[in-house]
Chains A and B, each alone.
Chain A
Amino acid sequence: METQQEVSKWFKAARVEDFPKNGGACVKYKDQQIAVFNFTRRGEWFACQNMCPHKKEMALARGMIGETDGEPKVACPFHKRAFSLCSGENINGDEEPVTTYPVKVENGYVYVGLS
């Protein structure tokens, strides 16, 4: 799904093995917190803002990832609001969508694409 805007900078976040399999970790970029997910089962990486729009908690990186009808998603650990990792839309409620970011892996490092 091509929802991302043009990438002007690839931020080198951390090594691949620093991220748990089928789970997420939070990346610090300047003052931003970005949740990066290693969806091993799908062989894909995703990233979105770490803040859950529901209660503004910095928590999505600690959420569980999974699928609804094949759509990859993350569920906030606080109240289980789930967001698509492709479009950022709230799948089970009316919360604002989250911002998603492209991710690439090169030479064992994970990069987050920033616009």
Chain B
Amino acid sequence: MMNSGTMDSQHIVIVGNGMVGYKFCEKLIAKEDADSFKITIFGEEPRPAYDRVQLSSYFTYAEEEDLQMAPLEWYEENGIELHTGELVVELDRENKTVTSQKGRTVSYDKLVLATGSSAFVPPINGIEKRGVFVYRTIEDLDAITEYAQVASKAAVIGGGLLGLEAAKAAMDLGLETSVIEFAPRLMPKQLDDIGAQALQTALEELDLEILLNKNTTLIGGNGTPEYLDFEDGDCLDADMVIISAGIRPRDELAKKANLEVGERGGIVVNDRMETNDPDIYAIGESALHRGMIYGLVAPGYEMADVLVENLMGGDKEFTEFDMSTKLKLVGVDVASFGDPFGETEENSKKVIIDNKAKGVYKRINVSEDGERLLGGMLVGDADDYNMLLQIAQNGFSLPPDPVDLIIGDRDEESGVGQKVYDFPDDSIICSCESVTKGDICSVIEDEGKEDIDSIKQCTKAGTGCSGCVPMLDDLLTQSMEARGKEVRKVICEHFDYTRQELFDIIKVKEIHTYDELLDEVGEGNGCEKCKPVVASLLASAFNEHVLEERDTIQDTNDRFLANIQRGGTYSVIPRVPGGEITPDKLIRIGEIAKKYGLYTKVTGGQRINMMGARVDQLPDIWEELIESGFESGHAYGKALRTVKSCVGSVWCRYGLHESVSFAIEIEERYRGLRAPHKLKGGVSGCVRECAEAQSKDFGIIATEEGWNLFVCGNGGTNPQHAKLLATDLDEETLIKYLDRFLMFYIKTAEHLNRTSTWLNKMEGGLEYLKKVVVEDSLGIGEQLEQEMQQLINVYSCEWKEVVNNPELRKRFKHFVNSDDGDPNVKFKDYRKQPVPAAAGWEEDEE
């Protein structure tokens, strides 16, 4: 909507282009009769409003634009006059004008003060030194980043939310970092003593030093910081200091114009966000509401909403606001919600789980009668946050034993059973944007939006801190289920089928090529989403060569049977079953790597990676490897990678069984097996678990009686321990179960879901999986075993076939019309090995 403003339109002037000032504009122009207003907004910072909440990510991504709330054009398109880099210094209430430091005077009909806050800087001796920073704006971050290059040890004054954020930023910049807190515990406003201790332990494990009960009296040094003195006589070396000791509302403009301000700062407003001047309002962190400054973004947005409604002639009030918050601090989940300390009701009871072994602390406060949840705090594991917040805010009844709410074992049927779909329609799902369950359901059910992106777009839910996205996902699934609609995760626009359905079609119709499948059951001409899915399915169904008639539907790693690396070269990893290798074979790897100028590194899966091969060198390298008795390691495929083993009972004085032999047997059994994602295994000869089998998709650990089988573990982004599927098995039974387990996974998982994700999504969880695999409750055990046996029977080394097939071999070259290699591939020397010289990527350090 163009907002040019007519002659008789009201002029709304906003002072402050922060998140709340921006949000006010966004909400105002969304109103139907918004064109009766002309909008002007002043911002002191040189850039339009940005997402201060995500400021720490600026260090990670360093892209200013990514943080912008809206680009400059947005203001223009919506007829909003934006003046950045202009601090408003004068407010003339009599003539209803404001004047900026550049001398620009603008008259207003309604004035909105969204001036925000500044960092509170305590009066410490030496605070003026160069190398002392606050943590507030992009400029602050830029200055910190620059100074960090000459600093080595940072001290962060303040152990609250922002202080810990700042500490993370300092650690990310490679500085040794200490946090100094005045109070006897971290995050004193959100956590109790035990919770704060749990957080502290976790942070100390990450090498963050925490100093409590410390009152800084001096920042010493010659021009720049060198050390800090504390009241108790202690001293700390630090050559950079970041102050994060709280915020102060920016009320100087209001004060100068004689608007009512609080004793300790803040522009006094009523429930309608009105100041004592009927034409002036204040919202966000500069507003003092019922004696309270709200230092979070969600209440600021709510204030913006209240004010917009009231300006449009409505009657909305801002009352108390929930200060619940969840965040990840230096990799540790922390959340507090509702009444974290149980102070709002007499005789409230606390329920606590304090699991020091796992670094998890959970506390909830329930009413005296045990009927209602008042609030609580979570440290180390905040997965239950959204659910608990909803239960507290909506006054849902609690299970007979409230501890069930925080036990958090999703495998067992805990009987809690609160489904987000059963929440009342007015329960808030996204607290950043105040989106209710009803809003979301109406978009799903009335407008037919059945994917998360559309729901986000239509409702704005999940676009703030994104903490509610898992709930959106649950809500979507549950809403579909409730209406008897199948929740189908179809592949893409070309195949209106799930992966599992396509697998069945391929098997039943015996379809062996992508084109045939597309012609039979698909639409159009395919894309990069469905091609690799079908490639994987064809491989899992028939185990035929991945390049015969299907090279161009493979992801690039599968197309060239090697992993593409920076600069466009590939890495070569031959199979080393169980990690056992003869000296002669080791020598051959060394000789081949030398001959082709390759970089070598030992992998985590007990094999050797040879990196830096040009595409045209791959067949020659493999020819030599195969002559030396190696075969493909499938490191490039969504396939079985390695089965890691310890040294086993042959050597180890503790070993119970021969883990190496068993690992080799298993690795050779499943080599080349293609699956929805990569597969890794491990075999340990005793409970000391040197093969780390419990972090694998399948892990086998020797017992006195036989072997225990663990499944569905993984490392990576979300590490998860494998779960015990069956105990004390003989080798034959174990392989039978493993056949069933792997084939069941291959047939039913979504594309690119590891076994852990697959199990997490499985209805009935581990208990169900046990029934299918161990008890054969579906009666498909034998079929699964047969299908696996067929795949095993037709295995052959795919590199051997390429090496011996001139037609396939021809495709391994960079140019179709020249035998030259890619001239852009260049190497440099790095610790006596060749690595890619920076080509197109960001410049490497010299």
Contact = CB atoms under 8 A, between A and B. Distances in A.
Given A19-B816, A58-B568, A78-B564, A67 B526 contact: yes
Contacts of B556: 59, 62-63, 77
B555 A77 contact: yes
Interface in B515-554: 515, 518, 524-532, 551-553
Nearest to A68: B527
Contact of B816 (A14, A22, A68, A75): A14
A55 B820 contact: no
B552 A55 contact: no
B525 A28 contact: no
Contact of A55 (B529, B530, B840): B840
Q: How large is the interface on A (under 10, 10 to 19, 20 to 34, 35 or more residues)?
A: 35 or more
Contacts of A24: 552
B552 A22 contact: yes
B522 to A, nearest CB: 11
Contact of A18 (B527, B529, B816): B816
A23 B528 contact: no
A39 to B, nearest CB: 7
B840 A57 contact: yes
B439 interface: no
Given A41-B525, A67-B525, A28 B820 contact: yes
A70 B841 CA distance: 32
Contacts of A57: 566-568, 839-840
Given A62-B556, A62-B559, A67-B527, A13 B817 contact: yes
Given A13-B816, A56-B841, A68-B493, A20 B568 contact: no
Contacts of B568: 57-59
B615 to A, nearest CB: 8
Given A62-B559, A67-B525, A77-B555, A20 B811 contact: yes
Contacts of A56: 839-841
Interface residues of B, number: 37
A91 to B, nearest CB: 10
Given A67-B525, A77-B564, A82-B528, A27 B552 contact: no
A64 interface: yes
B815 interface: yes
B149 interface: no
A20 B817 CA distance: 13
Contacts of A78: 564
A21 B816 contact: no
A25 interface: yes
B375 to A, nearest CB: 42
B723 interface: no
A18 B839 CA distance: 29
A36 B815 CA distance: 11
Interface string B471-508: 00000000000000000000001100000000000000
A113 to B, nearest CB: 16
Interface in B796-846: 811, 814-818, 820, 822-824, 839-841
Contacts of A14: 816-817
Given A14-B816, A51-B840, A63 B811 contact: no
A44 B817 CA distance: 20
A23 B527 CA distance: 11
Given A20-B811, A57-B840, A78-B564, A26 B531 contact: no
A69 interface: yes
Contacts of B824: 33, 58
A42 B555 contact: no
Contacts of A64: 527-528, 531-532, 552-553, 555
B515 A41 contact: yes
Contact of A26 (B494, B551, B814): B814
A66 B527 contact: yes
Contacts of B822: 33, 58
B71 to A, nearest CB: 11
Interface string A29-44: 0010100100101100
A59 B566 CA distance: 11
Nearest to A62: B556
A30 B809 CA distance: 25
Given A28-B815, A77-B555, 13 more contacts: A18-B817, A27-B815, A33-B815, A39-B525, A41-B518, A58-B568, A62-B560, A65-B552, A66-B525, A66-B526, A66-B528, A67-B526, A78-B564
Interface of A: 13-14, 18-28, 31, 33, 36, 39, 41-42, 51, 55-59, 62-70, 72-73, 75, 77-78, 80, 82
7 contacts: A21-B552, A25-B815, A28-B820, A41-B515, A41-B518, A59-B556, A75-B527
